[in-house]
Amino acid sequence: MKYSISLFIILFSAAVFAQDSTSIYKKRVLEAAEVDFLTSYYSQDGDNAAVSGGIGTEKLTNFTPTIVVAIPLNDDDVLTIDAGVSAYTSASSSNIDPFDGDGPADPYVASSGASASDLLASANFSYSHSSDDRNNIVSAKVSVSSEYDYFSLGFGGSYTKLFNEKNTEISVQANVYLDTWQLLYPIELRESPTFNELDKKNRNSYSLGFGFSQILSKNIQGSLSLDLVQQQGLLSTPFQRVYFSDLPDRFRENFHLADDIERLPETRFKTAIGGRLNFFINETFVLRTFYRYYFDDWGINSHTASVEIPIKISDRFTLYPSYRFYNQTAADYFQPYNTALSTDEFYTSDYDLSEFSANQYGFGVSYTDIFTKFKLWHFGLKSIDVKYNYYKRDSGLNYNLISAGFKFVRN
Residue numbers 242-301 binding another protein by CB under 8 A: 268, 270, 272-274, 276, 278, 280, 286, 288, 290, 292, 294, 296, 298, 300
Which one, 42 or 244, has the nearer CB to another protein? 42
Strand 66-72, strand 34-45: pairing: antiparallel
Identified binder of another protein from the candidate list 57, 115, 139, 145, rule CB under 8 A: 145
Residue 294 and residue 280: Cα distance in Å, rounded? 28
Buried b (16+ CB within 10 A) or exposed e, 111-135: bebebbebebebebebebebeeeee
What's the min distance (Å) between Cβ of 154 and another protein? 5
Binding mask 321-350 for another protein (x = CB under 8 A): -----x-x--x-------------------
Residue 205 has a CB neighbour count (10 Å cut-off) of 19
What's the min distance (Å) between Cβ of 409 and another protein? 13
Report CA 67 to chain centroid distance, whole Å.
Answer: 16
Q: Kind and range of the H or E element at 88?
A: strand 77-90
- Torsion angle defined by CA atoms of residues 298, 300, 301 and 305, in that order, rounded to the nearest 10 degrees: -130
Residues in CB range of 2: below 8 A, 6 or more apart: none
What's the min distance (Å) between Cβ of 193 and another protein? 29
**Which burial class, exposed, middle or buried, applies to 274 when counting CB atoms under 10 A from its CB (0-12, 13-18, 19+)?**
middle
Identified binder of another protein from the candidate list 185, 255, 347, 391, rule CB under 8 A: 391
Identified binder of another protein from the candidate list 54, 56, 107, 364, rule CB under 8 A: 364
Residue type, 240: Q
Which one, 108 or 280, has the nearer CB to another protein? 280
Residue 27 has a CB neighbour count (10 Å cut-off) of 7
Looking only at residues 371 through 390 of this chain, which bind another protein when binding is defined by CB under 8 A? 385, 387, 389
Q: Does 310 bind another protein (CB under 8 A)?
A: yes
In sequence order, the β-bridge partners of residue 324 are 306, 360
CA-nearest of 268, 278, 339 to 310 is 278
Which one, 38 or 106, has the nearer CB to another protein? 38
Looking only at residues 59 through 88 of this chain, which bind another protein when binding is defined by CB under 8 A? 64, 68
Identified binder of another protein from the candidate list 51, 55, 91, 358, rule CB under 8 A: 358
Which one, 281 or 376, has the nearer CB to another protein? 281
Q: Does 166 bind another protein (CB under 8 A)?
A: yes
- Torsion angle defined by CA atoms of residues 189, 148, 60 and 96, in that order, rounded to the nearest 10 degrees: 10
Which one, 52 or 175, has the nearer CB to another protein? 175
Q: Does 126 bind another protein (CB under 8 A)?
A: no
Residues that bind another protein (rule: CB under 8 A) add up to a total of: 82
Which one, 19 or 164, has the nearer CB to another protein? 164
Residue 33 and residue 201: Cα distance in Å, rounded? 40
Identified binder of another protein from the candidate list 175, 262, 333, 349, rule CB under 8 A: 175
Which one, 256 or 382, has the nearer CB to another protein? 382
Q: Kind and range of the H or E element at 242?
A: strand 241-242
The one-character DSSP state at 285 is B
Q: Does 227 bind another protein (CB under 8 A)?
A: yes
What's the min distance (Å) between Cβ of 331 and another protein? 7
Q: How many residues does the chain have?
A: 411
353 near 331, Cβ under 8 Å?
yes
Q: Does 128 bind another protein (CB under 8 A)?
A: no
Which one, 103 or 321, has the nearer CB to another protein? 321
Looking only at residues 196 through 225 of this chain, which bind another protein when binding is defined by CB under 8 A? 203-205, 207, 209, 213, 215-223, 225
CA-nearest of 245, 246, 204 to 339 is 245
Identified binder of another protein from the candidate list 379, 407, 408, 409, rule CB under 8 A: 407
Identified binder of another protein from the candidate list 92, 231, 335, 349, rule CB under 8 A: 231
